[in-house]
Amino acid sequence: MNLDSKTIYKIADLARIHIEEEDVEQLIPEMNKILSFMEKLNELDTTNVEPLVYMNDATNVWREDEIKQEISTTDGLKNAAKHNERFFMVPKIIEK
Amino acid sequence: MSLGTSENNYELVSGLEIHVQLNTNTKIFSADSASFGALPNQNISTVSLALPGSLPKLNKEVVAKAVRIGLALNCTINQINHFDRKNYFYADLPKGYQITQDSQPICINGFLEVELADGSTKKIGINRIHLEEDAGKSIHDQDENYSLVDLNRAGVPLIEIVTEPDIRSAEEASALLTEIRKLVRHLNVSDGNMEEGSLRCDANISIRPKNATDFGTRCEVKNLNSMRNVRRAMDFEFSRQVEVVSAGGKIIQSTLNFDADKGTTSPMRTKEEANDYRYFADPDLPPVSISDAWLAEIKSLMPALPNEIWRQMVADFGISKADAALFAEDLSLLAYFNRALPNVKNKKSLINWLVGPVRAILSERGISIANFGVKPEQLAEALNLVDEKKLTQQIAIQQLLPAIENHDTEDVVKLAESLNLLISTNSDDLDGYIDEALQKYSQQVEAYKKGKKGVLGLFVGEVMKLAKGKADAKKINELILEKLK
């Protein structure tokens, strides 16, 4: 596997992580190492093997349409980095 | 080669993505309320807030509602379906992904026939209907330095109806939306309210030379929040694209915003990189398996659809399509009609009353027939009296109906009697009134006798006035003619 710096930036962008330019040189070999390790999985022949998504065979795990109000606005806002009495506050989103 | 600038050389090609908020009590994956209009961040839960360790649990009613609208849109129900994660970052999406259905939507391959102004019908294909959760709401203009986030809407159930690119005009788009809004209301799937955002629409729009079979490059216009704006955006986009292509330019695939004030579209600010949503099946939500038995049950509980209802009424009662449509589009009116029907002697009068005077009373008060103080059985009795010529229609509407609303009585005939509203069948009384009238208008009587037959109405009117409206005009007519012979 050979990642280039463009891919590093793309992955960082998708993960909403800011990376410094000087760190990219170091990230390339580190990421490559992880990917090469994972590539080992490709040695296995998975033809005709359905992807495993769920840990059991359960279907229709559902509930009836009945309201249960379990937390208050105050409780809900408590863990937010920034909030006022009623709203979560986040850095201004310029895009409109 | 001269392309010309005429819009007549091109046709519009469009498909819609229609988001419909379902009117369930609770959200799609959690039990907090899904209602509109609560105080900010009142309808929240650990799932809506995406707190670590919280797990979504599907609302069964959401599945039932999606199946109902799928059946109404002639779709195949995908009995085994599942949820996927659509990954992207936005402040009003606290999980960092939206739960939606990508590879296996709940309904596929349907169609809807809509009627156009010229009377023709147009069949528009439905590619798919999938379930998903709504995002929260960001407010950008209340604080100078921060955006405010309200998560009441986060997790409200949505269906997205995706049509085939079968739409060829703004009229077709608006007819389709109107029909879908009618259906979701009729099936009690959504309130279909565009102003409150229960029904939202994105339009994919492209153009191509007439008779071409290939599709042109499309632009997606987002957030069309009224029927009028859908038409305006389509008309504007069509002209804009024709202009670009006619000038030798190329349409660039893009996402556009519609500016409702100016009636124009403009490119949304986008990142250089194309969106990469990395869809994958959500392991937190086991797949949905709709059993044959449950599907059959949902089918059996489907009400007749508006198009079936009006066709049936036209066939059964020989009324106009426009009148029949009033019943087809208002289930409470239809229920009222069906309750009154067994009690009336003349079915057609019942229809005439409901679409005429009763409708006028309701619209004057701005209420639905469900809140009308006159019960169906009472209305039936009142109009039977009119049909039997025991009561004039005018008195029935102006006096008897209000009296029924104000009196707690089952016996409408007795009420009419006690209020002295019934037509006086006493010919002696009428005779007296007629003599009085003819005397008053003796000059006109002379004129009548000389051949001026038009004054008859004047005599009838005067007698009616003397009888305080409680007389049968036809009978007065006969009696006067008799007298003037």
Spatial distance between the Cα atoms of B219 and B206, rounded to a whole number of angstroms: 6
Q: Which of B32, B45, B58, B146 to mutate to test the interface with A (most CBs of A within 10 A)?
A: B146
Beta-carbon contacts of B90 under 8 Å, excluding residues fewer than 6 positions away, are: A93, B135, B138
CA of residue A29 relative to chain centroid, distance: 22
Token pair listed for B94: 């606290």
The verdict on A60 touching B (C-beta cutoff 8 Å) is yes
Report the sign of the C-alpha dihedral through residues A20, A24, A25, A30, in that order.
positive
Q: Which residue has the tokens 């022949």?
A: A45
Q: Is A59 on the interface with B (CB under 8 A)?
A: yes
A69 vs B: CB within 8 A? yes
Contacts of B140 in chain A (CB under 8 A): 92-93, 96
Q: Do A89 and B149 touch (CB under 8 A)?
A: yes
For chain A, say whether B40 makes contact (Cβ under 8 Å): yes
How crowded is residue B427: how many other Cβ atoms within 10 Å of its Cβ?
Answer: 11
Give every residue of chain B whose pLDDT is below 50, as ranges: 1-4
The pLDDT of residue A95: 52
Whether B302 has its CB under 8 Å from any CB of chain A: the answer is no
Contacts of A89 in chain B (CB under 8 A): 143, 146-149
Does B287 share its domain with B265? yes
- Whether B215 has its CB under 8 Å from any CB of chain A: the answer is no
Contacts of B84 (CB under 8 A, 6+ apart): B99, B100, B101, B102, B103, B279, B280, B281, B282
- Residue B190's domain comprises 5-294
CA-closest candidate to residue B125, choices B117, B138, B113: B113
Structural tokens at position B391: 């009561």
Q: B144, B147, B255, B258: which to substitute to probe chain A, counting the most A Cβ within 10 Å?
A: B147
CA distance B25 to B64: 13
Terminal Cα-to-Cα distance of chain B (whole angstroms): 86
Quick one: residue B468, left, alpha or beta (phi over 0 = left, psi -120 to 50 = alpha)? left
Task: Please give the single-letter amino acid code of residue B63.
Answer: V
Min Cα distance B329 → chain A (Å) is 27
Question: What Rg, from alpha-carbon coordinates, does chain B have?
Answer: 31
Q: How far apart, in whole angstroms, are the C-alpha atoms of residue B45 and residue B27?
A: 10
Chain A residues with CB under 8 Å of B281 CB are: 51, 53
* Whether residue B151 sits in one domain with residue B103: yes
What pLDDT is attached to residue B336? 93
Q: Do B41 and A73 touch (CB under 8 A)?
A: yes
* B76–chain A Cβ distance below 8 A for any pair: no
Residues B50 and B199 in one domain: yes
Same domain assignment for residues B101 and B239: yes
B44 in contact with A at a CB cutoff of 8 Å? yes
Query: Which member of A64, A71, A92 has the closest CB to residue B60?
Result: A64
Query: Average model confidence (pLDDT) for chain A?
Result: 90
Best of A63, A71, A72, A88 to disrupt the B interface (most B CBs within 10 Å) is A88
The Cα of B473 is separated from the nearest Cα of chain A by a number of Å equal to: 59
Sign, Cα dihedral of B448, B451, B455, B460 = positive
Of the candidates B315, B289, B360, which has an alpha carbon nearest to the alpha carbon of residue B77? B289
- Which amino acid is it at B329? E
Quick one: pLDDT at residue A96? 45
Q: What is the distance between the alpha carbons of residues B451 and B446, in angstroms, rounded to a whole number? A: 9
- What is the arithmetic mean of pLDDT over A77-81? 93
Partner residue opposite B146 with nearest CB, options A16, A67, A90: A90
Distance CA B151, CA B346 (A): 55
Q: Check if the beta carbon of residue A57 is closer than 8 Å to that of residue B109.
A: no
Measured in angstroms, the CA of B76 and the nearest CA of chain A are apart by: 20
- Identify whether residues B59 and B20 lie together within a single domain: yes
Check if A42 contacts B (Cβ < 8 Å). Answer: no
Interface pTM (ipTM) of the complex? 0.89
Clarify whether residues B347 and B441 are in a common domain.
Answer: no
Rounded Cα–Cα distance for residues B223 and A76 (Å): 29
Q: What is the dihedral of CA B365, B200, A88, A76, to 10 degrees?
A: 70
Domain total of chain B: 3
Q: Which of B124, B120, B129 lies closest to B112, judged by CA?
A: B124
Contact A62 B59 (CB under 8 A): yes
Interface probe for B, chosen from A14, A61, A65, A74 (most Cβ of B below 10 Å), is A65
User: How is residue B330 written in tokens?
Assistant: 């208002």
* B216, B324: one domain: no
Asked if residue B274 and residue B136 are part of one domain, the reply reads yes
- Chain A CB within 8 Å of residue B267 CB: no
Cα–Cα distance, B118 to B477 (Å, whole number)? 45
Query: Please, what's the largest Cα pairwise distance for chain B?
Result: 99
Q: Tell me A86's DSSP state.
A: S
CB B173 within 8 Å of CB B229? no
Residues B424 and B472 sit within 8 Å (Cβ to Cβ) = no
Tokens of B297: 């049950």
Last residue of a domain, one of B232, B261, B294: B294
- In total, the C-beta contacts within 8 angstroms joining chain A to chain B are 128
Structural domain contains residue B299: no
Distance (Å) of CA B15 to CA A31, B165, B183, B297 = 42, 4, 19, 32
Residue B154 has a CB neighbour count (10 Å cut-off) of 28
Find the closest chain A residue to B49 by CA distance.
A76
In this complex, is the C-beta atom of A40 within 8 Å of any C-beta atom belonging to chain B?
A: no
A-chain residues within 8 Å CB-CB of B286? 54, 56, 58-61
Domain coordinates in residue numbering, chain A: 5-42
B362, B394, B418 — which closes off a domain?
A: B418
Q: Answer whether B292 touches A (CB < 8 Å).
A: no
Longest dimension (CA), chain A: 56
**Domain identity same for B175 and B73:** yes
Residues B229 and B208 in one domain: yes
Q: Are residues B411 and B437 in the same domain?
A: no
Last residue of a domain, one of B398, B418, B438: B418
Nearest to B147 among A61, A65, A93 (CB): A93
Say whether both B101 and B156 belong to one domain.
Answer: yes
